[in-house]
Structures are given as C-alpha cells and as structure tokens.
Amino acid sequence: MKLSEMLNDSPCDENIHKLLYDGLDYDGSSADLIMVLGSRKACDYRVPEAVRLYNEGKAPLILLSGGQVQDTSLGNMAEWESMKKAALALGISESDILAEKLSKNTAENFMYSDELLIGYLPLGSKIILVTTAYHMRRALCMAHKFMPGYDFIPCPVQKGSATKENWYKTDKGRQTALDEWRKLSYYIKDGIFEDTNI
C-alpha cells in the first residue's frame, strides 16, 4: 500500500500503528555512520542509543544533526552541542563525532547533513538513522528525498509516551501519533517528499 493511500483512510489505531511503527525495527545491520537527529531530549535518549550502537561496532562515526537552540537537560544550547556533550560524557572520542550545526527542522537535518558528508562518506554508504520511534517514518521519507545517495537503516528509539508499545495508552501518546499522521499527510499532499510503499 502507498503512503498516500493509507493517509486517505481514517486514522484508526490499526492504521496509525502500521504507518508509524510497522517494518521500521532495527535489523542489527552494520553501517558506515550513525546519524542522530536532534531534539530537546535527544541528548537523553537518542544519543545513548547511538553510543550503544557505536560501542557494539555497528559504525565507526556518529553524526549529530541539529542547530535549533533548545532547553535541554544539559542547559539551553543548540541540539548538536547538547548531543555532543552527552556523547563525550559517554566515552565517545571527539574525533569520531561529526556535527551538523545549521538545521532547524527534519528536512534541513538531511539537506545540511548531505552537504557535510561530502568528503567523509562515498555515495552508496550505509547510515544507521537514530530518532524517536514515532518520528522514524517521516525521517526516512526525508532521508530518501534529501540524501538519496545513501542507504538508510532505521533504528527507532522506543522511549517516551509514543513508543510502539504504548502510544495508544495515554491521551498524550495518541495526540503525538495523530500529530505525526497529520504531518505526513501534509508533506505528501504538498509534495515535500515522494509517495512510497508502506
């Protein structure tokens, strides 16, 4: 089924679950780089997941992407800065960290990262993508749109109120999932990224 076809249906629990979570589990593959998308809480849960992958030898480099200034648990600073502080505190060598410092949204995460990786990774390289579970579908669609030269491997982080296992259990989780449904619908209708199979 195409993404647009699903989004034309009602956002019932079954459709939301399929859209946001099905087929996106990490498969254990190794890659050339781990890319972490920024957010206010990325230093608390996305970075530890990336460090776990790095320590398991899944990839030799970590790219931290996010220039938005946020009130993070490490202070008011740019996302990349808070993520870098967290990665260094967890023992990652600074020489194995790349930082994309300009992006303010998901699309820009990939647009600016694509420019940054010129000279670091050859086209065709594999990238493990780390972001929140409910955000992964949209992030992958953006990745394919703005970084088509790379092969992305999803690694969703199951933390918070909208994980694969708990999103439907609270009003907050349901609202987060519905907001993501609406964003995907808008981006498809507006042609921001191409339709794809689910």
Q: Which domains does the chain have, with CATH numbers?
A: 29-159 (3.40.50.620)
- Please list, in sequence order, all residues whose beta carbon lies within 8 angstroms of the beta carbon of residue 150, skipping any fewer than 6 positions away: 117, 121, 123, 124, 125, 126, 127, 143
What share of the chain in percent tops pLDDT 90? Answer: 88
User: What CA–CA distance (Å, rounded) separates 124 from 148?
Assistant: 9
Reported as a single tens digit per residue, the pLDDT across 168-197 is: 999 999 999 999 999 999 988 888 888 888
pTM: 0.95
CA distance 33 to 10: 37
Q: What is the pLDDT of residue 114?
A: 97
> What digits encode the pLDDT tens for the residues 87-137?
999 999 999 999 999 999 999 999 999 999 998 899 999 999 999 999 999
Tens digit of each residue's pLDDT (9 = 90 or more) over 67-99 = 999 999 999 999 999 999 999 999 999 999 999
Distance between CA atoms of 124 and 96, rounded to whole angstroms? Answer: 20
